[in-house]
A and B are shown apart, each in its own frame.
Chain A
Amino acid sequence: MSRFMKDLLIYCLAKAKKAKLGLSKNKGMRDIMTVYYMEAKTARLSRRKVAWITSGGPVEPLIAMDIIPVYPENHGAMIGASKMGAELCEKAEEMGYSRDLCSYARSDISCATVNGGPIGGLPRPDMLVCCNNICGTVLKWYEIQARYFNVPLFILDTPFCHTEYAEEMKRYVKRQIEEYLVFLEDVCGRKLNHATMEKVGRLSVEGQQLWQAVLDTAANRPSPMTAFDAFFHLALIVTLRGTQITVDYYRNLLKTLNDKVEKGIGAVPNERYRLLWDNLPIWYRLRWLSKKFAEHDACLVADTYTTAWCGTLKYMDENKFLDSMAEAYTRIYLNIGIDEMAKTVMDMIDKYHVDGFVMHSNRSCKPYSLGQYDIRRIVQEEKGIPCLVIEADMTDERNFSESQVATRINAFMEMIKERKG
């Protein structure tokens, strides 16, 4: 237990430090996440199973089976936010992993071997659930962890929807959802309770609807929240989708935001320019970036990243959750062609009244970043708004040049000011 208490202490300190950054004053989130990681770290004591799962993976059956889901990607984000990414990435490079590989994967792989990072490593998994709807990297990453921990691995293979979600894909993914349930039942040695599953499915859909509503408040002028706030509040819809806690949390958050809208309180004091962010956050420079944009009276009102956790609501049916899950998990933002991605971006530009598009070209994420130049061209042609590309990495700060990024942001903001006056 002493090791655990130490880990917990380190975790709380890290979170407390992050809270001081002033990005969000929401104490509820920290409490929920602390309890969540505490439960996950003591799963052995409570005889519950732990599953590591990808961020785009179908978590609802795990919740229904009372398995604790743990997210290495969320862990990667925490590592990045605590500025421990470079050190852990270097450690992975010493293990032989190329420095060109995804920095979430690199830091998680090395973290597992040293129990390092902000929370002293993730709890040991009993199983791994990998859904490749977000990238091919997770497949390799989970193979590595399956070998390291010697635990069963389930792969939910979601065919890439370049231009269509075809009949044969539908059949394949549906069959795999059935296989997934069998896998979970086998590992746990008990059956899934379908009534519980239905309840979790409804809560998941409700949570996603609320998350969408939270993000929608940013359509107001001034916006009561920024994308930087969304990056913070995102944690629950990723990790605890399908629980009552998540629903309650977002309901409260929505109320707070609506109050601000009514009172006309903006997240950026003198909001004049509204921007859209693309790709994962640059976790180790959130505060710096947020200040940088605020200096120019610019508010990042929306982003393509956090909307991914409610972007497929249109395919979901809360009354036939398991059935509709196949399509919803296959057609997420990163698993579609770049022309459809560009359409999504343009819809957001209209919906949130966006003046400029900021793209993070993220060395760690090829499915997100390759194709960005074409999306930029399409958006510029159709919407005529300025676009900015920032070269960086989500977790490995060695790939970030502050002076270079600052120069680009200043030039970009000058362009927008000139256009809008």
Chain B
Amino acid sequence: MKLLDEFHGIRDDPYTYGKKLKAERNRKIIGYFCSYTPEEIIYAAGIHPMRLFGAQGEITLADTHFQAYCCSLVRGALEGALKGKLNFLDGTVFPHTCDSIQRLSDVWRLNTSFGFFADVVLPVKLNSESARRYMTDVLSKFRNNLEKGFGRRIEDQHLRKAIDTYNHIRTYLEQIYSLHSENPHIISGSDVYAIVRASMIMDRDDLLDKLPAVVEGIKRGDTDADNGTKKRILLVGGICNHPDVYRILEKSGGSVIWDDLCTGSRYFSGIIDNSGDPVESLANRYMERPVCPAKHLSVKSRGEHLVNLVKEKEADGVIFLLLKFCDPHAFDYPHMKEYCNRQGIPCMVLEIEDRLPTEGQLLTRFETFMHML
């Protein structure tokens, strides 16, 4: 499918896309790092929300700010900013995520100047009424800050339209995941990955124009995917910056049929009820969506969610993708693995830094795991 080339292109080189969007359409762009960023509010202000994933390549400038035991997402992100690769941004937003992103926010505020800057200090616990009220307060405050920062009003109707747009986008993305899950031969995992990743980068109206054609194309079987037997794999972790994981996994006889990733299903899970107060509705989605390990819903919620996903998606095995120095995920891993063991779900772990292990080593691990399933 020709259309997919565009998604791959954007995924490969998001900064060029950002620059073009700025140069050709004079769009205001706000960068963000976390799936808890209230994109709908940014969109409602007529500003383009663009997710940043950390820069590829050597990290040198960021080393004067962060120690080596800081994760490559944080160091890479700062590197991109300091090297001037993000100069197309009109601002950045930092929702409260983990200890490292929190400090990135401070260092960013003190060392970069992209115009608008906001910390959206969301609650960490999501299981109380007071947290829900606080979540709503924080989102309202962000709305006001954006209005002040860009001198525009964000009316309720703008927010409703934004929620509507995002509901549509999320529905399409979920549909694409489902199509692939039902028939892993219909489209390759790397293509699905490229679509979801590009969705966080592209202009959302353009995206929404294109997604129906993508879905139709997939249904028609208009996509290239090989026909070998595929073990059904659930990928679990934070962000996955490595399209090669999908390709090498398919080479070794598996396919990612669903995920619990921040750059995957956690991004599009949860359709928002658009009938009530729009800010409250946004808050409600965050209170109920599958959680990131840096947030607290209950002591068992992530393990239970994982087991349910395995059952629901009929996965053969689970691969935990851990970013080195990512504390919240590393703390959850032994317990998540235990959950799998108790249920007899085979699982393996892959710890990666900024670069993947060599393809040979990765193939060995994946092939062995496929053999075990």
Contacts and interface: CB of A to CB of B under 8 A. Distances in A.
Interface string B129-161: 011011001100100000000000000000000
Interface string B169-186: 000000000000000000
B327 A101 contact: yes
B103 A157 contact: no
Given A100-B324, A171-B134, A369-B67, A162 B121 contact: yes
B64 interface: yes
B70 interface: yes
A101 to B, nearest CB: 6
B124 interface: yes
A370 B99 contact: yes
Contacts of A141: 331
Nearest to A342: B110
Nearest to A92: B334
A337 B106 contact: yes
A361 interface: yes
B332 A140 contact: yes
B102 A367 contact: yes
Contacts of A157: 123-125, 131
B109 A136 contact: no
Interface string A119-156: 00000000000001001110111011011000001010
A162 B138 CA distance: 14
B293 interface: yes
B103 A136 contact: no
Contact of A172 (B100, B119, B131, B331): B131
B107 A132 contact: no
A337 B109 CA distance: 10
A366 B100 contact: yes
A370 B121 contact: no
A172 B99 CA distance: 20
Contacts, number: 146
Interface residues on B, range: 35 or more
B103 A371 contact: yes
Contact of A132 (B100, B124, B128): B124
A410 interface: no
Contacts of A132: 124
Contacts of A159: 96, 121, 123, 134
Given A132-B124, A168-B134, A337-B109, A370 B330 contact: no
Contacts of B328: 136, 140
26 contacts: A98-B351, A100-B325, A102-B327, A105-B331, A135-B99, A136-B102, A136-B327, A137-B331, A140-B328, A157-B124, A159-B121, A159-B123, A162-B102, A162-B105, A162-B106, A162-B119, A162-B121, A166-B141, A168-B137, A171-B133, A172-B123, A172-B131, A172-B134, A337-B109, A370-B100, A372-B67
Interface of A: 95-98, 100-102, 105, 132, 135-137, 139-141, 143-144, 146-147, 153, 155, 157, 159-160, 162-163, 166, 168-169, 171-172, 175-176, 179, 337-339, 361, 363, 366-367, 369-374, 391
